[in-house]
Structure 1
């Protein structure tokens, strides 16, 4: 399961983020990017305010000297936060070595920066040193998002490498609401936010409840007890966006979301001469998506075409495929895991075989049982949960 990490600057912001459902509260100075540390007093205030109600992490500062970083991380750890986050730059190897004694006693998260050629070869070294997780972030906060630096297949590789090392995998870096549906399928344990929680008004602006709630609603979570503690809260607006409404037939109304004439270079073909080159392949996808119970207002109410494009690119990134039929089936299978999809038509055409196109078109539908409420979240809750 993917958890929501909210970057907060003080106890007041931490309380707002907690009330609105953030899973992890990450303490940092947003005016001192990327990893400005808060004062000891500010961290102590948050730990005292939040107690054990949520996981709390804190950054150790914008430091690259190994001993300075180790000393700062030790000080942060002594406040009682659950995780200490440390940035790793060109001096990463020495910093990891200096932090090894602390990693044996406290939970450390290493941060790599996508806009500074993140060195994923450090992941096994971090695991060997005792780190509990690795996050991928951006160092320069100029509005460029993580996805501007690494595409979905490369982000999937990062998450897979971290999980293979038995650590928590996190993604951050000016993430916005539309990025969430694209990143959830690759299974990160954490998605981190700051600017999106201010409504795009800048990292130094105070976060607000409305925008925290928007991000929170886009990340599936298990039911939480209400204030009385005796029944489950149900977010009917979120369930409606996912295709469920009480007393309404789940199957009756759909919208068509499509991607047409997407041409990509693909390693495909059963002949030997097709194995050492790529061919142009055209994709046309039509997805029947359950309508929300109201007019679309924000990202909670839509199924993004980006999810279709990302699914195709992820499948193609896995290597050579002999048959267009295989590609079509994999695309259909991947997309039908989304809880709102009812049916899908996938057309895959090879454009370099003849003076025209050859290929296949398939139609697939969700099994009838998939409309039931207990299965609406099946595709979203399979990711590994960190904590």
Structure 2
């Protein structure tokens, strides 16, 4: 969950006027197709056979490269091989549907690793909305690309990226006494997914349902929250559980509980987490484990 550099805000635009407004509102980049043909009444984008769509990203921040970045837009991770010899500096995964409905976070993380191993930045698009920002920041992409963002939405997105959750930076110094910190609790109850789990041989040949209940003690916001950027989203919890399910076979539910606790407690807003993991397909209604872990006691 550690970021090597800040996540940038990019806006896909269709005209110079849109680009100007986006940059004035705080976008780091504006993104536009490189190849266009004009015909009466419309603009048609041309695409070279067998090649990804080429976009150019122009920076509005003087600390960013002055020359436009060559961006390869892909609709699916398996198109990655097409960009290896294109001279691109950025790969944009941008399906024609909501990104987090199209692909799991584990798939996105693998795609991001492939981009970085190839020496290219990884950007995410795909009909993004503001609640997607904290979920995707967990992966640490170099930029998020939004479409048709009005000034208010763009400004809030800018604030969310400029002041990301404390999860994205390690705490300094000793943690405060828990009794001195005002807290709230968030919860996810009865979240059930198929897993490959179990130490017995017969358990390795099939999936079985696991039910997760998670309660987290979080630092209370300093004011009544009015924006999505001011709350800890339960989507972060369910995303973390989905990533566990995508990681293949695990012998013990105890290991899953510990891994989930370690993942969630990287976020400095969480002081403690209680996790219950239940197997539902072994005969009784449920068997499993419940643990409670504290942020300042983490050893994993």
Q: One fold, TM greater than 0.5?
A: yes
2: distance between equivalents of 1:68 and 1:111? 10
Structure 1 pair 38–218 and aligned structure 2 pair: CA distance change class (3 A): farther
Q: Deviations over 1:75-128 (max 9, x none)?
A: x9xxx9733xxxxxxxxxxxxxxxxxxxxxxx5221112xxxx2x344244224
Gaps of 5+ in 2: 59-64
Shift of 1:153: 2.6
- Pair 1:82 & 2:54 matched: no
The structure where helix makes up a greater share of residues is 1
**Aligned match of 1:64:** 47
**Aligned match of 1:5:** 10
Structure 1 pair 368–326 and aligned structure 2 pair: CA distance change class (3 A): closer
1:291 to 220, 232, 237: 220
Contact 1:127 1:167 (C-alpha < 8 Å) held by counterparts: no
2: distance between equivalents of 1:282 and 1:190? 34
Shift of 1:160: 2.4
- Of 346-355 and 359-368, deviating more is 359-368
- Pair 1:109 & 2:71 matched: yes
2: distance between equivalents of 1:121 and 1:368? 41
- Pair 1:319 & 2:248 matched: yes
Aligned length: 274
**Aligned match of 2:263:** 334
- Pair 1:152 & 2:157 matched: no
Contact 2:51 2:82 (C-alpha < 8 Å) held by counterparts: no
- Of 353-362 and 302-311, deviating more is 353-362
Shift of 1:38: 9.9
**Aligned match of 2:62:** none
- Pair 1:214 & 2:187 matched: no
2: distance between equivalents of 1:68 and 1:188? 23
The structure where strand makes up a greater share of residues is 2
Contact 1:63 1:69 (C-alpha < 8 Å) held by counterparts: no
Shift of 1:305: 0.7
- Pair 1:131 & 2:93 matched: no
Structure 1 pair 290–36 and aligned structure 2 pair: CA distance change class (3 A): farther
2: distance between equivalents of 1:8 and 1:109? 14
2: distance between equivalents of 1:368 and 1:262? 26
Contact 1:6 1:194 (C-alpha < 8 Å) held by counterparts: yes
1: distance between equivalents of 2:103 and 2:74? 13
1:165 to 110, 114, 118: 118
